Amino acid sequence: MKNLIWLLLLPIWSFSQTSYQDLERLLEQKNYQKAEQLAMPFVADNPNDLKAIEILGDAFAYQEKWDEAMEQYKKLVSIKPDQANYHYKYGGAMGMKALSVNKFSALAYLGDLKQAFLTAADLDKNHIDARWALVELYMQLPAIVGGSRSTSLKYAEELEQLSKVDGYLAKGYIYEYDDEPILAERYYKKAIEIGGSITCYTKLSEFYENQKQPEKAISNIEEAQKKLQRNALHYQLGKVSAEYNTQLDKGEACLKTYIKNYSLEDGVPIAWANYRLAQIYRQKSHKKEALKCIDLAIKDLPEMEVFQEEKELISKL
């Protein structure tokens, strides 16, 4: 009898395993709607299946369906309250929901999302993402509703104990947010010294852009390219060149290289590279080339209003 029961259950168990793999593959392929469609009936039939619930929540979150994502993540927290990552995802969905509504309505989520991140950090002393969330939350909140630079720095220190790179990046973020550029630059550079990843270089480049220092941003991107050899960095340099009307020949060459070597792993669609090229050609007063590039951008992403606005500017040359 025992063997018979096992044989009867085996196909169900195998089906479940295959379903998880299929659903996770759909998420990796960014086919979020299909993942949602397949996960919903499975969760309905298996209301306590933590893995299926999490996948459904993730599918909603990737589609920015924050109410639906919160519902699924709240189930996870209720079923297994000692799992740090469930609290983190629940808090993250609440945070994104709060950003999507007006400031008055956002206050309704504040207490619960803060508690979710704090719980995640308490449950898992090594949870880096939860501590990052707390760093950003305490910096962005006004003091009247609990914002605190000192608390943000406390979690940055905890991050530094877990990962020096994350700690330095967090401190760079805090000092940049608090308009202390000298300290911000120092910590972003320390992150590069220790980590040297594309993320570290990008944070410093973005800092220079925010400080209206495009020449420094370009120099930093070039340094990153020498060490990392990433096609995505060609787009970053071209973007800075186009936005700040500087080193246009270099920006043009980088964008052409980006388009030539483009792959999906590079992230930014080719349409945006053509848009940046169009900006550069407009600034060079090369109307014909600018129109050609902006038309290519519009063809690929016709819904982008900024592309249409650029074409109007080019047409006035």
- Give domain limits for the chain: 30-124, 231-317
3-state secondary structure of 47: coil
Q: What is the mean pLDDT of the chain?
A: 90
pTM of the predicted model as reported, rounded to 2 decimal places? 0.82
Check residue 143 and give its pLDDT.
Answer: 62
Residues sharing a CB contact under 8 Å with residue 90, sequence separation 6 or more, in sequence order: 70, 73, 74, 76, 77, 116
User: Residue 127's CB: how many other CB atoms inside 10 A?
Assistant: 20
Q: What is the pLDDT of residues 152-172, one digit of tens each?
A: 999 999 999 999 999 999 999
**Average confidence (pLDDT) over 174-181:** 95
Kindly tell me the burial class for residue 35, based on how many C-beta atoms sit within 10 Å of its own C-beta (0-12, 13-18, 19 or more): buried
CA separation, residue 131 to residues 112, 199, 200 (Å) = 16, 18, 18
Residue type for position 159: L
Res. 17: pLDDT tops 60: no
Cα–Cα distance for residue pair 189/196, rounded to 1 Å: 9
Pick the CATH number of 30-124 from 1.10.3720.10, 1.25.40.10, 1.20.272.10, 3.30.2130.30: 1.25.40.10
Check residue 4 and give its pLDDT.
Answer: 45
Token pair recorded at residue 162: 């877990």
Cα–Cα distance for residue pair 182/195, rounded to 1 Å: 20
Q: Give the residue from 120, 183, 123 showing the smallest Cα distance to 149.
A: 183
Pick the CATH number of 231-317 from 1.20.1740.10, 1.10.10.10, 3.30.70.20, 1.25.40.10: 1.25.40.10
Residue type for position 107: L
3-state secondary structure of 167: helix
Cα–Cα distance for residue pair 108/106, rounded to 1 Å: 5
Least confidently predicted of 43-52, 210-219, 252-261, 301-310: 43-52
Pick the most confident of 30-34, 62-66, 199-203: 199-203
What does DSSP assign to residue 80?
-
User: Residue 83's CB: how many other CB atoms inside 10 A?
Assistant: 17
Q: Do the two domains 30-124 and 231-317 of this chain adopt the same fold?
A: yes
pLDDT band at 228 (very low <50, low <70, confident <90, very high): very high
pLDDT band at 38 (very low <50, low <70, confident <90, very high): confident
Check residue 5 and give its pLDDT.
Answer: 42
Cα–Cα distance for residue pair 276/254, rounded to 1 Å: 11
Res. 2: pLDDT tops 60: no
Check residue 15 and give its pLDDT.
Answer: 38
pLDDT band at 144 (very low <50, low <70, confident <90, very high): low
217 in Cβ contact with 209 (< 8 Å): yes
Q: What angle do CA 44, 48, 52 make, to 5 degrees?
A: 65
